[in-house]
Homo-oligomer: A and B are copies of this chain.
Amino acid sequence: MFGSVRTGVAAGIAAFFGIAALSYLLVASAAAPGGATAAPPSGATAAAPEDATTAPPSGATAAPSGGAMAALEYTPDGKLKKPEGYRKWVYVGTPLTPNELNGGEAPFPDFHAVYMDPESFAHYEKTGEFRDGTVMIKELVAVGSKAATSGKGYFMGDFIGLETAVKDSKRFKDEPGNWAYFTFGHHYPLKEETAQQSTVACNSCHQASAASDFVFSQYYPVLRAAAPKSK
C-alpha cells in the first residue's frame, strides 16, 4: 500500500515537473516569439549582424529596471548593448526619408523600420499607453532599387543602422517622459554598445513633435489601429 502511494506520488511529482517545464517553455515562447524554434546552433557566433533575429542565449539578458520583460542589457557604466531578436517584435510602421530628397544627407537614411517589444505592445492594446519598460527599435535600411515589376518607387536594400528608445522611470528618471535614446550607428558594422544620447539630440524633438508620449504614432498605423480608442 505504501509502495503504491509512493508510486502515485512519484507520478504526481513527475507530472508537476513536466508541466512546470512546459509552462516555462510557454512563457519563454511568449517573451520571444519564435525563439523556441529559432535558437542558434551551439557554437554559432552571436555578434554577426545577420544573427539579429535569433534568440539570445538563455540567461544573457536583463530586464530593464522598470520591471519590464523586454530583453535589454546594459554595461556596468550604463551603456546599452546592441539589442538582439527585435526582428521578431511587433512591427509598427516604416517612414522613408531618402537621402536624395534631403540634400544627400537625411538625418535617418533611408527606410526606418520601427518595432515595439511584444509585451509592451500587448499592454498598449489594452490601455493605449506606453508602459514603463517600453522599447522601440528603429532599424535603418538603405534604398536598394527604384523600380521593380510592381512599379516605380523605393525598394529596400541593405541594413545600415540601428537605434533604440527606452522608457524606464528608474534608469532614466531625469529624462523628459523617462525616455532615453541610443544609436548604434548609421553604417555597418554597428557599435556593440553605445552611451545614451544627450537630451537635446533626440528627446527634445520627440517631445515636441511626436503624437503620443514621445512616440511618432501619427506615422505608425499599426499603433493607431491597436489603441483601444479605435476599437
Interface size class of A (residues with CB under 8 A): 35 or more
Which of these, B11, B159, B220, contacts A225 with CB under 8 Å? B159
The yes or no answer to A63 lying at the interface (CB within 8 A) is no
Q: How many copies does the complex hold?
A: 2
Segment 30-75 of A: residues with Cβ below 8 Å from B: 30, 33-34, 36-38, 40, 44, 48-54
Query: Are B125 and A38 in touch, CB under 8 angstroms?
Result: yes
A78 at the B interface (CB under 8 A): no
**A189 within 8 Å of B (CB atoms):** no
| A215 interface contact, C-beta 8 A | no
Closest residue on chain B to residue A26 by CB atoms: B26
Q: Which positions in A face B, CB cutoff 8 Å? A: 1, 3-5, 7-8, 11-12, 14-15, 18-19, 22-23, 25-26, 29-30, 33-34, 36-38, 40, 44, 48-54, 87-88, 90-91, 93-98, 101-102, 106-108, 111-113, 115, 118-119, 121-122, 125, 141, 144-145, 148-159, 205, 208-209, 216, 218-222, 225-226, 230-231
The 6 closest A-B pairs by CB, nearest first: A4-B4, A15-B15, A33-B33, A91-B91, A97-B153, A97-B151
